[in-house]
Structure 1
């Protein structure tokens, strides 16, 4: 059986995933904005900022969804219910 993970470690892991996800998605959005600005919009600045904004917004939505889930509590409740039935 695996060693139980504390809630502090679980939260730290989720924050690490959120921050790395934010970095990657904002970089991808920025890159797409730069490429589209150079190719289609004659070097305008708004596609760059728009791409960065989309990347940050997507990262925020993913992080919000990840931090609002509580799988450890749900699993604990499920295991308690199965033990009570036995």
Structure 2
């Protein structure tokens, strides 16, 4: 069977889905760590929560920018070439 070709619209949709998911995960993680640090280390102040959330959003945004600006990145594994024995 022939391989199914993926349209560019579908590729773009997949990138957006990954981007949104990644940003939400990083924002939630930053929020959670901010709450933990706020409760246990900083006497229930609000700045660790805001800082953690902002860092999560910033990292997610930077990852999205990288994903959309580098569309043709090839991911592969390193293959060692062995010399011929005569």
Q: Does TM, scored on the shorter chain, surpass 0.5?
A: yes
Task: Give me the TM-score of the superposition, normalised by structure 2.
Answer: 0.79
**How far apart, CA to CA, are the structure 2 residues paired with 1:62 and 1:70?**
13
Instruction: Note if 1:67 corresponds to 2:61.
Output: no
Structure 2: runs of 5+ lacking an equivalent: 75-86
Shift of 1:64: 0.6
Within 5 Å, give how 1:24-35 maps onto structure 2. Answer: 24-35=25-36
Match of 1:6 in 2: 7
Greater helix proportion: 1
Within 5 Å, give how 1:6-85 maps onto structure 2. Answer: 6-71=7-72
- RMSD, aligned α-carbons: 1.6
Question: After the TM superposition, which of the residue ranges 63-72 and 4-13 deviates more from structure 2?
Answer: 63-72
Equivalent pairs counted in the alignment come to: 73
Match of 2:84 in 1: none
List structure 1 segments (4+ residues) > 6 angstroms apart after TM superposition.
none
Residues 19-75 of structure 1 show CA distances to partners (whole Å, capped at 9, x for unaligned) of 011111000000000000001100000000000000000000001101112228x8x
**How far apart, CA to CA, are the structure 2 residues paired with 1:50 and 1:25?**
13
Task: Give me the TM-score of the superposition, normalised by structure 1.
Answer: 0.79
